Amino acid sequence: MTDVQIEKRGHRRELMGVVIRNTMQKTVVVEVVRRVMHPEYKKYINVKKKYLVHDEKETAKTGDTISMIESRPISKLKKWRLKEVIKKGEVQ
């Protein structure tokens, strides 16, 4: 008796952010800004975090707004992949 087992991938998180650096090969640094409420003062503050994102085709440039998706670890610090470039940044 053969059991065909289909492995379902879990829900993958998806984030949006702005590319702040693309000097590495096939890697971009993306800054994601979240608004969270301060637990004591009840004021909303912006929390920024930087992620290393794998960009296989090297399509993202500095200033672009991108969508990234969680993936298996690609390297020690890269655990996100580029899904799409949502908006091109302005040329500086």
pTM of the complete model beyond 0.85: no
- Tens of pLDDT, residues 32-62: 999 999 999 999 999 999 999 999 999 999 9
The identity of residue 48, as a single letter, is K
Any long-range contacts for 20-24 (C-beta under 8 Å, 24+ apart)?
20/50, 20/62, 21/62, 22/55, 22/58, 22/60, 22/61, 22/62
What structural domains does the chain harbor? 14-87 (2.40.50.140)
